[in-house]
Structure 1
């Protein structure tokens, strides 16, 4: 970072942790055995998810032992799968270069680390400091060798303070004229970070002595006309969303659809921060559906620090103080601050026009 901040020490630890995590994910990516299985909710999980969560937990907890931890995975499937436990422990040992603490060496210590961040708290408005992370966002695409991300965020009293996102297969140099998709790949990779009020920075994924210093990204969303909107979405892959409505809203604003098309939410927030896109709309099929905190916490800050604004479909700020699910919000509307109200109006008018007033709060 080129601007001093009260949270530079936290950022340094987050970068150490996320680079160790990226190294683990790449080792699994290059392996023929990814240790994949289905969780109870029928979503996939791999040996990388467990190993990365253990290393992130260990590194952050060792540096900040009083901070809370919230992560996606729990150790339930590990207890009944000794072979998977051995695979995770071997992977952590294989990738340990001494840069992160990476202490788990027994099944018991591994499961304890995983479960340190599997509780539903602490993210309340008076909860103090909590680290939120998603070890592999986009596990389905990860299994195919496509775009995925690793997310680390620091919340204080439920407010985003720090973000570190690693995209091990995303080029640090975007090509705005070409859509970014799950199969737009680069082994160069990159990391994006933000500290509230200090901008969003682009870092090399695995720096060397000749690597350039972090680059402060321009505030490309400060003055964007409605005619210059570009969307990022996840098209025809997630049953939770309403693709026809997303398409209708986006096209009503004069933007192409689907344009940039990425499965994981963290890669989508990253595309918005990089300027590859500047708008996304997501409407769930039911008001009972809520987003998961690790898919959005911190990564939204990357977009806000380049001039973006994020609310839900009802125009409310995203509330990260409810625990593991964003139960105070429904869907997402993200756009440059100056035109966000127009995008939000298009969302709500389309829902009324299409007879989906049941989705309006």
Structure 2
């Protein structure tokens, strides 16, 4: 892997986790490049009036496995002296080794090799020869951990916000490093994140129209970013996704981001999950009203909600899962550390830190998750949860 001078990004090379963060950002940049191409292909394959559905699952599945393979390959190649363990949803090796998965495996191998051929643009050496099926299966065997309260492992969400991806809307690629039960770095790739706050609430079709009227080039940055942070630095950073045919030069126009200073509920923007199945909208609506959040909620797919707070485009995110649902750590780890280092707060609904020590789930989660730009708003919401919970039926 190339190193551009004596600095790794915006951090000194000697700083703890700087090398890991550098590698993780490059991996997410490359993964986002792949996802952008696949989302464009998926959109073009549909007729003008065709409604996106989850029947578009084959290209989605190819994208998921391809991102997993690419991230695993880059981490293994660039941190070769370490025993790389990665936590992610599903047993990838069993899925791709299945006798009925030959077409899927073939497509993943082709997609991964095409993507890794562009690795030098991101400062990573490409494989000496194209990967075969056995090599691909060996690479994804790194997804071999169930999480642990001790030791080090990576957590990956290769395609957070599948409905957003299928519909040409918001989605994210999230990678975090967890050590002894604590998130020590997080990288969040948001390929469709708009660089203008007022675009974030637009429907995806209108965003695409506006993007065509304001096309990106080497001098502009209209959408798509990677946001990252590491433990104890007190800052989070944002950089644009790499333009086609451009070479990644660290830190790639990175600039610091911070949570908004506004703590007035009347002026605050409140984010929540898009699908009502993932969170109780009626409860969060009542909670928002009781706190004084007067604007309509901004419903956004994926961990982009965490990005919106870290970038100063929103103040609040609340999620209260329905009975029986458990939150997965890969759905939150990267976003949590980014908001915290950007100056915000993320806790459960009891005000306690999220617990990443118990495997793949956030065990012991008190009712839900509350992320805020500041302590005043956070305290009001926590108090309101306590006052409203008995009648919530959750």
For the aligned pair, the TM-score class normalised by the smaller chain equals: 0.7 to 0.9
Q: For 2:305, which of 268, 274, 294 is the aligned residue?
A: 268
Q: For 1:293, which of 329, 335, 338 is the aligned residue?
A: 329
User: CA 1:324–1:257 in structure 2 vs 1: closer, same or farther (change >3 Å)?
Assistant: farther
Residues 1:83 and 2:103 are matched in the alignment: yes
Residues 1:303 and 2:303 are matched in the alignment: no
- Which whole-Å CA distance do the structure 2 matches of 1:245 and 1:171 have between them? 29
Match of 1:197 in 2: 232
Match of 2:135 in 1: 109
Match of 2:77 in 1: 62
- Which whole-Å CA distance do the structure 2 matches of 1:217 and 1:281 have between them? 21
- Which whole-Å CA distance do the structure 2 matches of 1:145 and 1:336 have between them? 28
SS at structure 2 position matched to 1:46:
helix
- Which whole-Å CA distance do the structure 2 matches of 1:271 and 1:171 have between them? 10
- Kindly tell me the number of residue pairs found equivalent between the two proteins: 344
SS at structure 1 position matched to 2:170:
coil
Q: For 1:224, which of 239, 263, 267 is the aligned residue?
A: 263
User: CA 1:253–1:44 in structure 2 vs 1: closer, same or farther (change >3 Å)?
Assistant: farther
2:227·2:236 contact (CA, 8 Å) conserved in 1?
A: yes
Q: Please report the RMSD computed on the Cα atoms of aligned residues, expressed in angstroms.
A: 2.8
- Which whole-Å CA distance do the structure 2 matches of 1:142 and 1:323 have between them? 27
User: CA 1:232–1:180 in structure 2 vs 1: closer, same or farther (change >3 Å)?
Assistant: farther
The gaps in structure 2 that reach 5 residues or longer are 1-8, 47-52, 212-221
SS at structure 2 position matched to 1:31:
helix
- Which whole-Å CA distance do the structure 1 matches of 2:165 and 2:144 have between them? 22
- Which whole-Å CA distance do the structure 2 matches of 1:257 and 1:219 have between them? 18
SS at structure 2 position matched to 1:220:
coil
Q: For 2:161, which of 115, 123, 138 is the aligned residue?
A: 138
2:72·2:140 contact (CA, 8 Å) conserved in 1?
A: yes
Residues 1-361 of structure 1 aligned to structure 2 (within 5 Å): 1-4=9-12, 5-32=15-42, 45-64=60-79, 65-73=82-90, 74-78=92-96, 79=98, 80-95=100-115, 96-99=117-120, 100=124, 105-121=131-147, 123-124=148-149, 126-127=150-151, 129-175=152-198, 179=201, 184=207, 188-198=223-233, 199-206=235-242, 208=246, 213-221=253-261, 224-235=263-274, 237-256=275-294, 258-264=296-302, 266-286=303-323, 288-329=324-365, 330-339=367-376, 340-352=378-390, 354=391, 356=393, 359=394
1:319 CA drift (Å): 0.3
The gaps in structure 1 that reach 5 residues or longer are none
- Which whole-Å CA distance do the structure 2 matches of 1:320 and 1:44 have between them? 31
- Which whole-Å CA distance do the structure 2 matches of 1:87 and 1:43 have between them? 10
1:219 CA drift (Å): 4.5
Superposition TM-score, scaled by structure 2 size: 0.79
Q: Which has the higher helix share?
A: 2
1:148·1:267 contact (CA, 8 Å) conserved in 2?
A: yes
User: CA 1:118–1:158 in structure 2 vs 1: closer, same or farther (change >3 Å)?
Assistant: same
1:275 CA drift (Å): 1.4
2:86·2:143 contact (CA, 8 Å) conserved in 1?
A: yes
Superposition TM-score, scaled by structure 1 size: 0.86
1:57 CA drift (Å): 0.8
1:225 CA drift (Å): 3.4
1:233·1:258 contact (CA, 8 Å) conserved in 2?
A: no
SS at structure 2 position matched to 1:189:
strand
Name whichever of 160-169 and 72-81 sits farther off: 72-81
1:308 CA drift (Å): 1.3
1:179·1:259 contact (CA, 8 Å) conserved in 2?
A: no
